[in-house]
A = this chain, B = another copy of it.
Amino acid sequence: MAVSSIPRQTLMRLPVYLAYLRGLGAQAPVHISSASIAAALNLGPVQVRKDLACLPCTGRPKTGYVTAELVHALEHFLGYDDTANAIVVGAGKLGRSLMSYSGFARYGLNILAAFDSDPALAGTQYDGKPILSMDRLVDLCGRLGVHLGIITVPAEAAQPVCDLMVRGGILAIWNFAPTRLTAPEDVLIHNENMASSLAVLSRHLAERFKL
């Protein structure tokens, strides 16, 4: 799995800073310091300062960042001002809810189409987006230059889907299937596992009630 030049944990915090700054709305101060962002988000000030150092805009020692510039730098860095096309494989409940999630537009993500191995679904539409048969995946990704793929199939079907995506030129895979995938070095796989999150939560409850 390829490693970005910026640590994954840093990348994952940047949208949190942006959401906080956007949330200030009309109350946003003209200047904001990394220390006050850290305090508001309950994070360490050194960590916030280091995270923001990967952006091209620089804070002044006393006044901090110009808030509007920081928001713009974060949006640009995160690619929110530039739309990335994506495809979803697996048009089940989860796949369909991602297809119809309008919030992705704010993050510069546009889902073009879904693919499904179920012949009853292929050729239909969901929320105005086509659901296509699997044999069109490689060709369509190549032709339209789609590089981001989302996997929402059951665990046992995920590796063949990943292989197809790689053949179609997909370079970043958002994997919602509860399994590990193998892909060439230059393809990034990011696992989103709801069951893993639930494991953390339910274990906490189980341990609480054992006491």
Question: Which A residues lie at the B interface, using CB under 8 A?
Answer: 2, 4-6, 8, 11-16, 18-20, 22-23, 25, 41-43, 77-79, 84, 93-94, 97, 100-104, 107-109, 147-148, 154-156, 171-174, 178-182, 186, 188, 190, 192-208
B93–A178 CB distance below 8 A = no
A47 to chain B, nearest CB (A): 12
| Nearest CB in chain B to that of A100: its residue | B93
Chain B residues, Cβ within 8 Å of A25: 156
Question: Once the chains bind, are B15 and A178 in contact (CB under 8 Å)?
Answer: yes
Number of copies: 2
Q: A109-B198, A173-B201 are in contact. List 7 more A-B contacts (CB 8 A).
A: A4-B203, A11-B199, A107-B202, A148-B202, A172-B202, A172-B205, A174-B197
Evaluate contact between B16 and A178: CB separation under 8 angstroms.
Answer: yes
User: How far, in whole Å, are A109 and B103 apart by their CA atoms in the complex?
Assistant: 25
